[in-house]
Amino acid sequence: MRLTLILIASLLLTSCTMGQMLVQPALPLVDNSIEKLNRETDLKAAEKTVTGNLKILDRMLKLDPKSAQLHTYAAQGLYGLAYGFREESQPQSASDLYLRGMQHGVTALQLNGANNLLDSTIADFNKEVSGMRKSDVAAMFWTASNWGKWIDMHRDDPDAIAQLPRATALMQRVNELEDTFYYGGAHMFFGVYYGSRSPTIGGNFKKSRAYFDRAREITNGKLLIADLLQAQYLARQEFNRKEFHQLLTGVINAPDDLMPELGLQNQIAKRKAAALLKRENEWF
């Protein structure tokens, strides 16, 4: 029996090592694939690519389940699929994808050394986050992005809302360590955070506008998501129909080659802006 257990352990160890040996050299290829995908402006083709890439990542994770980098890629990919292609047409699917993305992000952070991020007290959680380093920024960003969107889709659930301080703590740490990460995405997060709520329940329109302005500054106004989100959340909350209309028409009419390296994100923003404009008379 002892000899059998030793042999099994040896085979498992060899399998794990072989999996890591196969996966690690392929990680730069994942980066290249993401960069190429970001330049894709055909939304149907992009959706197929994202779905295919996630299946490949799933296979890679089975070979190397303890790769924090792979879990971070998965969190990013799941967010992209949910936000870009599921949120409006398949909200339940988007919610499930965001939740999975958050779980992958948490796994990445815990593989990097964090402890008990989901069941700890908020004080212990904040202590863990305060010790996270610049090398954790990507995992923090995609964890918080997925978490925040999942919470946003469950605003009527008190248990979901109670998790918001954890997502915001992670994103605040991103801002402290590298506020330009992913084109100022953390600033857009806080633009939505402060702009989507009345001041009586924690909103702050002045702060929201400042965060959106900083996001635009980082990309020289070329990433259209900032304008889209400002219209969708801040302008609606302020009941500012003129700004809502101007921002969204500006997104739609922006040149298609405004920011080629993020052509996909800008095309998604254009599609979402057109959908929001159709509801202008309903909201104002």
Determine contact, residues 191/212, Cβ cutoff 8 Å: yes
Return the pLDDT at 265: 97
- Is the pLDDT confidence value at 220 over 90? yes
Return the pLDDT at 245: 98
| 207 and 233 together in one domain | yes
Return the pLDDT at 3: 42
Entry pTM: 0.91
Place of tokens 């298609």: 256
Residues 6+ apart with CB under 8 A from 231: 243, 244, 247, 248, 251, 273, 276
| 225 and 119 together in one domain | no
- Closest among 143, 162, 233, 218 to 187, alpha carbons compared: 218
Determine contact, residues 64/24, Cβ cutoff 8 Å: yes
Look up residue 144 and give its amino acid: A
- Is the pLDDT confidence value at 8 over 90? no
Task: Tally Cβ neighbours within 10 Å of residue 59.
Answer: 9
| 156 and 204 together in one domain | no
Return the pLDDT at 17: 60
Domain membership flag for residue 3: no
On average, the pLDDT of the chain sits at 92
CATH number, position 56:
1.25.40.920
Specify the number of domains making up the chain.
Answer: 2
Quote the CA–CA distance of 147 and 27 in Å, as a whole number. Answer: 25
Domain membership flag for residue 142: yes
Domain boundary residue, one of 159, 178, 197: 178
Quote the CA–CA distance of 59 and 65 in Å, as a whole number. Answer: 10
Residues 6+ apart with CB under 8 A from 46: 37, 40, 84, 85, 264, 267
- Is the pLDDT confidence value at 2 over 50? no
Quote the CA–CA distance of 249 and 277 in Å, as a whole number. Answer: 8
DSSP symbol at 153: T
| 187 and 124 together in one domain | no
Tokens of 234: 């801040």
Q: How confident is the model at residue 28 (pLDDT cuts 50, 70, 90)?
A: confident
Half-sphere exposure of 214 (CA within 13 A, CB side): 18
Residues 6+ apart with CB under 8 A from 238: 205
Which residue segment(s) compose the domain that 125 sits in?
27-178
- Is the pLDDT confidence value at 136 over 50? yes
| 174 and 217 together in one domain | no
What 3-state class would DSSP assign to 223? coil
Domain membership flag for residue 2: no
Summarize the confidence of residues 78-83 as an average pLDDT.
Answer: 98
| 34 and 72 together in one domain | yes
Determine contact, residues 83/142, Cβ cutoff 8 Å: no
Place of tokens 């959106």: 212
| 47 and 87 together in one domain | yes
Quote the CA–CA distance of 85 and 98 in Å, as a whole number. Answer: 12
Determine contact, residues 130/123, Cβ cutoff 8 Å: no
| 274 and 238 together in one domain | yes
pLDDT, tens digit (0-9, with 9 covering 90-100), for 83-93: 999 999 999 99
- Is the pLDDT confidence value at 1 over 50? no
Domain boundary residue, one of 178, 211, 232: 178
Return the pLDDT at 22: 65
What 3-state class would DSSP assign to 42? coil
Domain membership flag for residue 18: no
| 136 and 200 together in one domain | no
Domain boundary residue, one of 178, 202, 229: 178
Summarize the confidence of residues 58-67 as an average pLDDT.
Answer: 91
Quote the CA–CA distance of 200 and 59 in Å, as a whole number. Answer: 47
Residues 6+ apart with CB under 8 A from 22: 63, 64
Question: Who has greater pLDDT, 246 or 56?
Answer: 246
Domain membership flag for residue 242: yes
